[in-house]
């Protein structure tokens, strides 16, 4: 879906142009498409270069306030406007909500005044023949919001979906799972994730690389003792500004994800299976940590080449295979593995701060379907672990159906499995992390993950 430019009489570097394109992206997500894929399509051409950053920024912001914007709009109009007008209004609300401090997000990189947002939203609808009729409506709705912002927002946010900006089923599920932390978990998912780096320990140390970053004028700090290779940047920068990125000195990876290779504890010479491997983030870390005979398995032929590309940049090697982890007969050579990492497909509910569209794309029924698939993968892979070998089950989910429930089920059905120490449920980020029972977290800034580790007797 390319951005429909032809009818548009707006400069590509104007906010109106970006609002028009971001509105199309928002509507594509409403129709079920994933935001990164839509943005790649819409902002792909050369003509979009000037607008790309702004379109992306606005569309991501809109995902984090979609239900608030919908509720504000429903209160402002008698009948719903056509999708493109609706989309422009939602994107304009996203910028105005940010500037009002009504939501917990940093100001846009290019902060716009309220006046500019309204003016450019009007220009965006005026620039298309089919939406030009709505100029007055857009102007009136946004000005009315600015006049009575606090009252309108308080009224709209009476509805929990508009208050939290998640579907009701998601709010209910988080509340049921984490009765003491549900608000912090939902709020954490509405923040912007930091850019976290993983330093290639074969080539340098986190401390030394931090100095290199500082010399390049890039601020950052060590993420914590549990993740010795991780550096959290003070402000995100494009990867091409990271010294040595293209030479494999450093990679981008959330600090929660960096626990995987360390927990698996593979040592030189071990035969290791990384069973759901693309794009190869954890594969790379495993190989940075030890010399391994590593098979990286991935079911998607489209995604598998990304493993090879990532390893090439890191100057590391694995045997990349395309196959289904639930059906090893098609790809396994029969030789058992000393370590198996199963980073299974899941709801991705732990990484919504990086992928804020996920909450609008998932359905409640997806969780049971994913849990069933995870069990198929777990059962099949366990047979591949050598006696005395270890198995690490990972999801980037915050739902117990994909986490602790699965670990307990697994212990129940596999008499030769001994559960070892592992973080269990790591709730995403900051205040959400809580110690005790199955929930751990150092308070550092990470996404939501679940880790369970098993030894094969
Ligand atoms: C959570 S992602 C893995 C992320 C990866 N481990 C990393 O750290 O970069 C899950 C991956 O598993 C793949 N996948 C899904 N079902 C699979 C299956 N049955 N067998 C193998 N791979 C599968 C998906 O295509 C996806 O690339």
Check the annotation: does 298 bind a ligand: yes
The CA angle 266-311-268, to the nearest 5 degrees, is 25
pLDDT at 14 over 90: yes
Strand 220-222 relative to strand 196-199, pairing: unpaired
Is 326 near ligand 1, meaning CB less than 6 Å away?
A: yes
Helices 35-42 and 15-30: crossing angle, nearest 10°?
140
pLDDT at 122 over 70: yes
How many angstroms separate the alpha carbon of residue 382 from the centre of ligand 1? 17
Among 319, 321, 322, residue whose Cα is nearest residue 311 = 319
Question: How many angstroms separate the Cα of 377 from the Cα of each of 239, 392, 427?
Answer: 34, 12, 24
Within 10 angstroms of residue 430's Cβ, the number of other Cβ atoms is 15
Confidence of residue 9 (pLDDT cuts 50, 70, 90): confident
Q: Is 406 helix (H, G, I), strand (E, B) or coil?
A: helix
Q: Checking phi first, is residue 10 left (phi over 0); if not, alpha (psi -120 to 50) or beta?
A: beta
Name the DSSP class of 194: P
Is 135 near ligand 1, meaning CB less than 6 Å away?
A: no
Read off the pLDDT of each residue in 305-318 and give the average, rounded to a whole number.
Answer: 98
Read off the pLDDT of each residue in 219-248 and give the average, rounded to a whole number.
Answer: 96
Cβ(342)–Cβ(393) below 8 Å: yes
Check the annotation: does 343 bind a ligand: yes
Average pLDDT, the chain: 93
Check the annotation: does 291 bind a ligand: no
Q: How far apart are CA 268 and CA 292, in angstroms?
A: 6
Q: What stretches of 267-403 show up as alpha helix (H) in DSSP? A: 281-289, 304-314, 358-361, 364-382
What is the reported pLDDT for 99? 55
Q: Select from 276, 393, 448 the residue to mutate for testing ligand 1; criterion: most ligand atoms less than 8 Å from CB.
A: 276
Within 10 angstroms of residue 119's Cβ, the number of other Cβ atoms is 16
Nearest ligand 1 atom, CA 257: 8
Residue 13, φ and ψ in degrees, nearest 5 = -95, 15
Q: How far apart are CA 252 and CA 220, in angstroms?
A: 13
How many angstroms separate the alpha carbon of residue 443 from the centre of ligand 1? 27
Cβ(333)–Cβ(273) below 8 Å: no
Confidence of residue 442 (pLDDT cuts 50, 70, 90): very low
Rg (CA), the chain: 23
Nearest ligand 1 atom, CA 324: 20
Residue 156, φ and ψ in degrees, nearest 5 = -60, -35
Nearest ligand 1 atom, CA 260: 8
The interface pTM score, or ipTM, of the predicted complex is 0.99
Cβ(396)–Cβ(350) below 8 Å: yes
Strand 439-440 relative to strand 417-426, pairing: parallel
pLDDT at 7 over 80: no
pLDDT at 438 over 50: no
What is the reported pLDDT for 443? 46
Read off the pLDDT of each residue in 251-260 and give the average, rounded to a whole number.
Answer: 98
What is the reported pLDDT for 3? 55
Read off the pLDDT of each residue in 425-436 and give the average, rounded to a whole number.
Answer: 61
What is the reported pLDDT for 5? 55
Q: How far apart are CA 29 and CA 70, in angstroms?
A: 14
Is 351 near ligand 1, meaning CB less than 6 Å away?
A: no
pLDDT at 131 over 60: yes
What are the tens digits of pLDDT across the range 326-373?
999 999 999 999 999 999 999 999 999 999 999 999 999 999 999 999
Check the annotation: does 279 bind a ligand: yes
Q: How many helices (H) and strands (E) does the chain have?
A: 18, 12
pLDDT at 198 over 80: yes
Please list the residues that pair with 197 across neighbouring strands.
231, 252
Q: Select from 345, 372, 374 the residue to mutate for testing ligand 1; criterion: most ligand atoms less than 8 Å from CB.
A: 345
Buried b (16+ CB within 10 A) or exposed e, 383-396: ebbeeebbbbbbbb
Confidence of residue 45 (pLDDT cuts 50, 70, 90): confident
What are the tens digits of pLDDT across the range 99-110?
554 454 545 555
Q: How far apart are CA 9 and CA 5, in angstroms?
A: 8
pLDDT at 314 over 80: yes
396 flagged as catalytic: yes
What is the reported pLDDT for 440? 40
Catalytic residue among 91, 289, 346, 396, which? 396
What is the reported pLDDT for 20? 96
**Residue whose CA is at the smallest distance from ligand 1 atom 7:** 281
Residue 115, φ and ψ in degrees, nearest 5 = -60, -45
pLDDT at 275 over 90: yes
Is 280 near ligand 1, meaning CB less than 6 Å away?
A: yes
What is the reported pLDDT for 430? 52
How many angstroms separate the alpha carbon of residue 315 from the centre of ligand 1? 22
Strand 250-252 relative to strand 271-274, pairing: unpaired
Q: Is 449 helix (H, G, I), strand (E, B) or coil?
A: strand
Check the annotation: does 82 bind a ligand: no
Read off the pLDDT of each residue in 18-44 and give the average, rounded to a whole number.
Answer: 96
Read off the pLDDT of each residue in 319-328 and give the average, rounded to a whole number.
Answer: 98
Nearest ligand 1 atom, CA 325: 20
What are the tens digits of pLDDT across the range 60-81?
999 999 999 999 999 999 999 9
Percent above pLDDT 70 for the chain: 92
HEC assignment per residue over 77-113: CCCCCCHHHHHHHHHHHHHHHHHCCCCCCCCCCCCCC
What is the reported pLDDT for 6? 47
Confidence of residue 1 (pLDDT cuts 50, 70, 90): low
Query: Which domains does the chain possess?
Result: 15-164 (1.10.940.10), 196-252 (3.30.70.1170), 259-456 (3.40.50.150)
């Amino acid at each position: 879906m390319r951005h429909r430019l032809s009818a548009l009489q707006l400069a590509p570097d104007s906010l109106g142009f970006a609002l028009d394109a971001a509105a199309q992206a928002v509507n594509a997500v409403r129709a079920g498409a994933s935001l990164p894929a839509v943005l790649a399509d819409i902002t792909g051409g050369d003509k979009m270069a000037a607008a790309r950053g702004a379109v992306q920024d606005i569309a991501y912001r809109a995902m984090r306030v979609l239900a608030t914007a919908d509720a504000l709009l429903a209160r402002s109009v008698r009948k719903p406007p056509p999708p493109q007008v609706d989309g422009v209004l939602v994107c304009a609300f996203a910028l105005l909500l940010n500037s009002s401090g009504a939501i917990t997000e940093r100001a846009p990189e290019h902060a716009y005044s309220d006046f500019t947002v309204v003016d450019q939203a009007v220009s965006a609808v005026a620039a298309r023949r089919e939406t030009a009729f709505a100029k007055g409506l857009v102007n009136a709705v946004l000005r009315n919001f600015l006049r009575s912002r606090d009252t309108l927002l308080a009224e709209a946010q009476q509805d929990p979906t508009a208050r939290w900006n998640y579907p009701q089923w998601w709010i209910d599920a988080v509340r049921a799972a984490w009765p003491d932390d549900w608000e912090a978990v939902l709020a954490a998912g509405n923040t912007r994730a930091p850019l976290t780096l993983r330093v290639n320990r074969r080539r340098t140390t986190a401390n030394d690389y931090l100095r290199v970053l500082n010399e390049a004028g890039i601020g950052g700090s060590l993420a914590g003792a549990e993740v010795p290779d991780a550096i959290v940047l003070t402000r995100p920068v494009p990867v091409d500004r990271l010294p040595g990125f293209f030479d494999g000195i450093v990679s981008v990876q959330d600090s929660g994800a960096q626990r995987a290779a360390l927990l698996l504890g593979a040592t030189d010479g071990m035969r290791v299976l990384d069973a759901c491997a693309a794009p190869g983030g954890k594969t790379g870390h495993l190989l940075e940590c030890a010399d391994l005979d590593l098979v990286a398995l991935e079911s998607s032929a489209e995604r598998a080449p990304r493993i090879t590309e990532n390893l090439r940049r890191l100057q590391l090697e694995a045997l990349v295979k395309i196959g289904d982890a639930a059906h090893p007969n098609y790809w396994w050579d029969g030789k058992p593995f000393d370590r198996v990492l199963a980073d299974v497909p899941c709801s991705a509910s732990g990484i919504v701060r990086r992928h804020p569209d996920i909450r609008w794309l998932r359905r409640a029924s997806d969780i049971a379907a994913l849990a069933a698939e995870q069990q198929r993968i777990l059962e099949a892979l366990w047979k591949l672990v050598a006696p005395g070998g270890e198995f690490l089950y990972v999801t980037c989910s915050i739902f117990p159906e994909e986490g602790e429930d699965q670990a307990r089920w697994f212990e129940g059905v596999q008499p030769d499995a001994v559960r070892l120490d592992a973080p269990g449920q790591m709730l995403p980020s900051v205040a959400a992390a809580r110690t005790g029972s199955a929930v751990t977290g150092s308070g550092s800034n990470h996404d939501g993950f679940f880790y369970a580790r098993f030894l094969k007797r």
